[in-house]
Amino acid sequence: MDGLKRFGVSMNKELLEKFDDFIKKKKYKNRSEAIRDIIREKFVEQEWEKGENVAGCIVIVYEHNIHEIVDKIIDIQHKFSKYIISTQHIHMDEENCMEIVAVKGIVEKIKELYFYLKSLKGVKYSSIVKATTGKKLK
């Protein structure tokens, strides 16, 4: 890491103990790694809030035997193909499937795709994982 700078952080004993427990549970090697990771998470949140070019994943779990749901999912994905990097279809059991859609593009369009998929009849669960293209993070 070129340009590495050191700085001090002061906090009360109880907060530091909680932070050290967090570091241990999350398997960080040291406080610096944990602090860098937390700061990056906040910057990714800002990218999404500002409506910038982002990346992420949309996850839906749905009942595959609902009339035409698979066709509707595919139609929606084609409509938003400019923003879809990849999809993965997973058969969870005889009744349920999971679709993971990796996305990249303008936040507004990613959210629009998410809301279309989420609102389909037969979708039991949906989530969006916010990520970054990485261009603005070091």
Convert the pLDDT of each residue in 27-85 to its tens digit.
Answer: 999 999 999 999 999 999 999 999 989 999 999 999 999 989 999 999 999 999 999 99
Instruction: Determine the structural domain holding residue 25 and report its residue range.
Output: 13-49
Cα of 59 vs its chain's centroid, Å: 9
Q: Is 117 exposed, middle or buried (0-12, 13-18, 19+ CB in 10 A)?
A: buried
Predicted TM-score of the model (pTM): 0.85
pLDDT per residue as tens digits for the range 90-99: 999 999 999 9
**102 shares a domain with 60:** yes
Task: Provide the number of structural domains found in the chain.
Answer: 2
**120 shares a domain with 103:** yes
Considering only CA atoms, which of 109, 96, 113 is closest in space to residue 48?
A: 109
Distance, in Å, from the CA atom of 85 to the CA atom of 87, rounded to the nearest integer, reads 7
